A and B are shown apart, each in its own frame.
Chain A
């Protein structure tokens, strides 16, 4: 692993799918994002860390096209899909109809079934969302995003509300789906360990800009070993959290999410 200089966007030789230059976003008088640059390569898994209120969701919403950015230099693929922290399934549509939301054609049910199969929920096609557990809802939400074959998958703290074990399973699921469909991913998270476990590159958002970047070159699945700890310490340093003793021991079954930044 290495710390690459800022804005070099690691080592991409291909055209980036996401290209943001000099992006500024203000709410009234408060400037949330200021002159921000960001590149994401096709198929790259990027995690975005930052303290609460640093503008992570604001950036993600801009990339999702949910907030308009008139006159700004923001390039994203046409096919984008968002997984929100709260699954946001329509409670009055059965699970498969939620997955197929907005899709047309005769085979939508079959496609929805296939997508739900990929997240292990093809047996719950016809149930109401209200009967799903939190983890199942998030898996449906993932299926709904992936059925659109997005070039850019935007995840806004999708696992934050899940328990530690479910979260680990979701990590594996997201990684396997990412390998299969190869979208570029932007994962917003509070959890430093989660970011290191999943991403090719971890960005730290601070003062409206990408303040730091860590390329994670560790092979997956990633153990909480010395190299992991070194990255973790550096990222925590970037986040302004110092002198945290490494809690997760090497070979521990569950690395407890003590790396969560609570601000």
Chain B
């Protein structure tokens, strides 16, 4: 009987799937080819947009000459320092507001007011205050990244299941232990969501802040390229910005996978 059922089973032939409708890579590649074709035939002049092949050439040159790595490092430092300040401040404010009513009364209204002012609108003020060096750029990034962290961590702390806190209390955990063992781990997923937002914001603000008369950094590279109409270098910088965004996302994902291993959705993977 087992034989007959085994024999009746259809033999699965695993052919490589070449279905055109599933190939998500196809349209981007097609676009690139069209772009290259347009550039070669002169339909797209280089001062409008350089050909993909030219862009790759520029990328290679800039990397070899060390121009790209050194400027990338400057930009990266700006973004990380600003982000670090923003994350620390946002976390501190969220803890103050999240863990006590008095803290909420003191901090939350200010944060809500701050939210109504788009961070980038503060640029002129910061230039007046800090000049055109590194300080206004870093401050701008820090100010912009505070809010996503604050908002998410605050709501995460407030969203922690009170029944778990109560259970911990019933087993004799001190208020400090309740915070470190129940409330903060419970709010960690929200914090990581905030961190991911903040990284995106940091990148966005970096791009704008670097337009402030930078003498180094990716923005400086772009500004120079603009003056010489080097669209190939501009596109290289855009690619690097995109890469930074992807890397930031990857970092948070990795942290999530390690720190939130207990979550049912992540357990299977």
Interface residues of A, Cβ cutoff 8 Å to B: 64-66, 80-82, 84, 86, 88, 90-93, 101-102, 128-131, 144, 148
Contact = CB atoms under 8 A, between A and B. Distances in A.
Query: What are the 7 closest A-B residue pairs judged by CB atoms, nearest first?
Result: A88-B167, A130-B264, A92-B185, A128-B262, A92-B262, A102-B173, A102-B171
Contact of B267 (A64, A128, A144): A128
A91 B262 contact: yes
Contacts of B186: 92
A259 to B, nearest CB: 28
19 contacts: A84-B163, A88-B163, A90-B164, A90-B168, A90-B181, A90-B182, A90-B185, A91-B262, A91-B263, A92-B188, A93-B181, A101-B171, A102-B177, A128-B267, A129-B262, A130-B264, A130-B267, A131-B264, A131-B267
A148 B164 CA distance: 18
Interface in B151-190: 163-164, 166-173, 177, 181-182, 185-186, 188
B99 interface: no
A148 B185 CA distance: 24
Contacts of A80: 170
Nearest to A78: B172
Interface majority SS (helix, strand, loop, mixed), chain A = loop
A21 to B, nearest CB: 23
Interface of B: 163-164, 166-173, 177, 181-182, 185-186, 188, 261-264, 267
Contacts of B267: 128, 130-131
A131 B261 CA distance: 12
Contacts of B182: 90
Contacts of A131: 264, 267
A148 B263 CA distance: 28
A90 B169 CA distance: 12
A81 B170 CA distance: 7
A200 B260 CA distance: 45
A65 B166 CA distance: 11
A101 B173 CA distance: 8
